[in-house]
Amino acid sequence: MLPKVSVFAMGGTIAASGRAERGVKPSLGADAMVDAVPQLAEVAAVEARTFRLLPSPEVTIPDLFELADAIERAVAGGAAGAVVTHGTDTLEESAFVLDRILSLDAPVVLTGAMRNPTLAGPDGPANLLNAVRLAAHGPARGMGAMVVMNDLIHAARFVQKGETSNPAAFRSGPMGPLGWFAEGAVRLAGPPGPRHTVQVARDAAPAPVALLTVTLGDDGRLIERALEAGYRGIVIELTGGGHAAHWVADRLVEAARRVPVVMASRTGAGEMLRRTYDFKGSEIDLLARGLIGAGWLDGLKARLLLTLLLTAGADDAAIREAFANWLDPAPE
């Protein structure tokens, strides 16, 4: 008896069709994608469902809440794991959200394609086959949400898209991938670390959180505008390990009196410093004046974590604890 795997199609390039010279768009349903990969029949009993047919930027957090419900129902109904096919542009964000809100042991595997089916060497079919292999793989239980692209397995907490069109676009920061595929076998090198889930009501409207970046010579006026526009939190991507000009720092500190302001690095990688530089606008100054460090989460992931925490009704102390705990996990 083959394990049952539920495939949920969200859209993206993996679902694209059209003519190469006129551009493609997501239009293939889940059944069409699954039927195009006959090898799937040797790996799992696949149940395919077209959940959305969207380009990545149109996927919303409520879509992901609904998807999380559907994945839980599929697992409760006997699926060994779930696969989500998705546009690659926001794949890392959807993976991060699902990893935070699902507490399932069953593997949840997101995948997509960098080369659409009108191009030579489309990668969607191979990625889908590998994703189903991983979803059906017993030892992958308990590892949370993962991303499969280009024969590699990434943990949702680390994965980032770092290229626009190269099939090797996905990377996993300092740790590297969780595993790989070879000759059809799944190889897992290790578990990704503690889970850090957020209990959030799936019918709640997501709290708006702005993501801003500091740039050379900018005066930081968007910080106030973000508050005027009704954002309930701000993630600011600072230079290097957490630095801003002193005049931007003052604006950030002012904002932090009203809403949580989380600082990440605009480099997109590496850990925010906590005790290295001490000038006005340095990490020591900003942390002492009320900002919250994102640890090693990049701006995109820090924004999603803050969104989920605010949506769950977390107060200032709980938000600070959640970000601190993310960096230095409290013993379980």
The full 3-state SS of 274-315, as one line of letters, equals CCCCCCCCCHHHHHHCCCEECCCCCHHHHHHHHHHHHHCCCC
Smallest distance, ligand ASP to C-beta of residue 15, A: 8
Would you say the C-alpha torsion 142, 156, 97, 92 has a positive or negative sign? negative
With beta carbons less than 8 A apart as the criterion, state whether 8 and 71 touch. yes
One character per residue 17-56, x = contact with ligand ASP (rule: CB under 6 A): --------------------------------------xx
CA 282/CA 149 separation, integer angstroms = 37
Position among 6, 85, 88, 265 found at the interface with ligand ASP (CB under 6 A): 88
* Strand ranges for 201-291 from DSSP E: 209-213, 233-238, 261-265
> Which DSSP helix (H) or strand (E) runs through 79?
none
CA 305/CA 321 separation, integer angstroms = 12
Query: Is 111 a binder of ligand ASP (CB under 6 A)?
Result: no
Residue nearest to ligand ASP (CB): 87
Q: How far apart are the first and last CA of the chain?
A: 37
- Residue 33 or 312 with smaller CB distance to ligand ASP: 33
Position among 47, 66, 89, 218 found at the interface with ligand ASP (CB under 6 A): 89
Residue 90 is a catalytic residue: no
The number of beta carbons lying within 10 Å of the beta carbon of residue 228 is 7
Position among 81, 107, 112, 260 found at the interface with ligand ASP (CB under 6 A): 112
Smallest distance, ligand ASP to C-beta of residue 128, A: 13
Contacts with 322 (C-beta within 8 Å, 6 or more apart), sequence order: 196, 198, 305, 309, 314
- Residue 20 or 229 with smaller CB distance to ligand ASP: 20
Position among 4, 8, 9, 12 found at the interface with ligand ASP (CB under 6 A): 12
- Residue 88 or 282 with smaller CB distance to ligand ASP: 88
- Residue 57 or 331 with smaller CB distance to ligand ASP: 57
DSSP reduced 3-state for 41: helix
Position among 4, 7, 8, 13 found at the interface with ligand ASP (CB under 6 A): 13
- List interacting residues with ligand ASP (CB under 6 A): 12-13, 55-56, 87-89, 112, 114
User: Catalytic site residues?
Assistant: 13
